[in-house]
A = this chain, B = another copy of it.
Amino acid sequence: MICFVTGNRHKYEEAKKLLSDIEMRHIPYPEIQADSLEEVAEYGIEFLRKKLDCNFFLEDSGLFISHLNGFPGVYSAYVFKTIGNDGILKLMKDAENREARFESVIAYYDGEIHLFKGICKGMIAENAMGKKGFGYDPIFIPEGEKRTFAEMESEEKNEYSHRGMAMKKFISYLSRY
């Protein structure tokens, strides 16, 4: 059994579909101000590793927009809460380079730290479209698509998804044994 340290039941249930032998543990841990998700995740592991008696993992994700030098990046949750999709669309008004990527990092601790990363490339839409999903989904169009994540069913979204990809790498690591 592996513990998934998160306060987000939605993330937990998504992960549970791919990896049944997990338990949710809601233990708040500090998220540091850093440039990469890897640094945030590793710091979280260091904080948690003496507090848990099971192998465990945590997940952190963010949206990185090229034209905005990687903003909102590791601060995606805070930026969504304050300026939201409207704010991002204002910042991207008339921007020619609309490239963006979602990243997800899973950090797993089993005596050592292991990192698994998933990336989903795409672009920022001109306008918000769709009602499904959450967060930045209405303004993110994955590569090879014309629809935003918020216009897709979750199964379809999960095929492209940064988080799904990180989970698959993690599961592949676990199944080596």
Contacts and interface: CB of A to CB of B under 8 A. Distances in A.
Chain A: interface size category = 20 to 34
Candidate in A31, A70, A75, A93 with the most chain B CB atoms within 10 angstroms: A75
Interface in A16-69: 30-33, 40, 43, 68-69
B82 A33 contact: no
A83 interface: yes
A82 B71 contact: yes
A118 interface: no
A90 interface: yes
A78 interface: yes
B83 A69 contact: yes
A87 B68 contact: yes
Contacts of A31: 32-33
A124 to B, nearest CB: 14
A73 interface: yes
12 contacts: A30-B32, A31-B33, A33-B78, A68-B82, A69-B82, A71-B82, A71-B83, A75-B78, A87-B91, A90-B90, A90-B91, A90-B93
